[in-house]
Every structure is written in C-alpha cells, then in structure tokens.
Amino acid sequence: MTADRSARTSGVSRAELIADTAIALLAGRGMRGLTHRAVDEAAGLPPGSTSNHARTRAALLELALRRHAAREARALTLEELPPAAGLEALADALARALHRTLTDHRELLVARYELALEATRRPELRKIYDEEGRAFREPLIALMAAAGSATPERHALSVLAWGEGLMFSCAAGAYHAEVPGREELRERIGELLRGVLGR
C-alpha cells in the first residue's frame, strides 16, 4: 500500500500527508533537505504531487508551518482545569504537556526550530509563526491571571521562556539525552510558579 493510499484510509488528506512529510524531512534533514521532490519520494506520491498542492517553496513552508502548529497545539494542550485551580494543579498540567511533547513529539520540536529560524528570513512565515504563537500565549496568560498573578502577561512570558528553553535543551541542546521525568518537571515548574507569583 502506498503512503498516499494509507493516508486516505487513515483519514489524513493528501495535503496533510504532504505537510506531515515536510515536517519529518525538516526534522531529519534540515531546511536544505526539504524539496518538493524529496516530499514526493518520502511520502510515496507520484512525482509532481507536492507541487500541485504547494507550487513554490514558500507555499510548501507555509503548509508545513500551519500543519505543524495544529499538531503541536494538540501535543501541548493543557488538560481542563477548574476556574479556581491552584498552583499545584497548574504545575501538574504544564508538566504533563511538556513531558508528552518531549517524549512523544520530539520530531515536532526539531522541525519547529527549523521553521522558527526560517521565519526570521521570510516575513510571510514570520506573520504565520507569530499568529500561531498567540494561540499558546493567550491561554497561558489567562491561567496565570486565574492563579493570582498581578501581571499575567509578564509572568506568562517567564513561564513560556522557561518552557521553550527546556524543550530546546532536551530536544536539540546539551540535555538531549537527559529528558526529565514528569514528576521532576512538575517540581521545577512548581518552583518557577511560586517564584514568579511570590508564593
């Protein structure tokens, strides 16, 4: 069974298959390894299929970035928290999301770093990257406000920066072979939250 046929039977559209393959290539080969032909070959599609969905390299990158954002949003989704959830519940929810991403979705992380760097050189990608970033930032601001932060935007930035640094270190940096367990993450996030919230 070809990858295209397999994708159809699993409910993934051809455009999603192309985007998922592009993400895998970005993670495995870097930006230079992402070509229309490489996507066709890796996805098991007839030559020219990727060009039919994304005519230019910019269009292929945009397709990959939008699909990446959708997949990462699912990976990093926080479990539903009650309105009056305490600091420990928030720390646990954040730890679960981070641990899930670090252990099950490392490919997404590495691909994101490739896309983030490319966005610094392509204004059209920068706009999409920033729009998608707000989808992560705004819920965290609301959670920080609910946790009692007097300056939720500033505190959300601190938590996001810490999480981003941790994910980079564990996915592509010096700690790539030392991913912390969920309990360790919960303790570290708890320390961070208590620090920024003055608890």
pLDDT tens digits for 179-198?
Answer: 999 999 999 999 999 999 88
User: Identity (one letter) of the amino acid at 114?
Assistant: E
What is the model's pLDDT at position 166? 95
Burial-class residue 12 by CB neighbours within 10 Å (0-12, 13-18, 19+).
Answer: middle
Q: Nearest-CA neighbor of 34 among 51, 57, 17, 12?
A: 57
Per the model's pLDDT, the better-predicted residue between 1 and 49 turns out to be 49
d(CA 189, CA 103): 17
- pLDDT tier for residue 161 given thresholds of 50, 70 and 90: very high
Fold annotation for 68-197 = Tetracycline Repressor; domain 2 (1.10.357)
- CA dihedral (91, 93, 95, 100) in degrees, to 10, reads -170
Q: Count CA atoms within 13 Å of residue 32 on its CB side.
A: 0
Question: What ranges do the domains of the chain cover?
Answer: 3-55, 68-197
Q: Is the dihedral of CA 49, 50, 54, 57 positive or negative?
A: negative
pLDDT, position 148: 87
Q: What is the percent of the chain where pLDDT is above 70?
A: 91
Between residues 87 and 58, which one has the greater pLDDT? 58
Q: What is the CA radius of gyration of the chain?
A: 19
CA distance 169 to 165: 6
| Higher per-residue confidence, 138 vs 168 | 168
Query: For the residues 132-148, what does the mean pLDDT come to?
Result: 86
* Band of pLDDT at residue 171, cut at 50, 70 and 90: very high
Question: What pTM was estimated for this model as a whole?
Answer: 0.86
Confidence band, pLDDT 50/70/90 cuts, at residue 6: very low
Residues 55 and 146: their CA atoms lie apart, in Å, by 45
Q: Which residues lie closer than 8 Å to 7 by C-beta, 6 or more apart?
A: 13, 14, 16, 17, 43
pLDDT at 3 over 60: no
pLDDT value at 111 more than 80: yes
Average pLDDT over residues 26-50: 97
**Can you tell me whether residue 59 is helix, strand or coil?**
helix
Residue type, 135: A
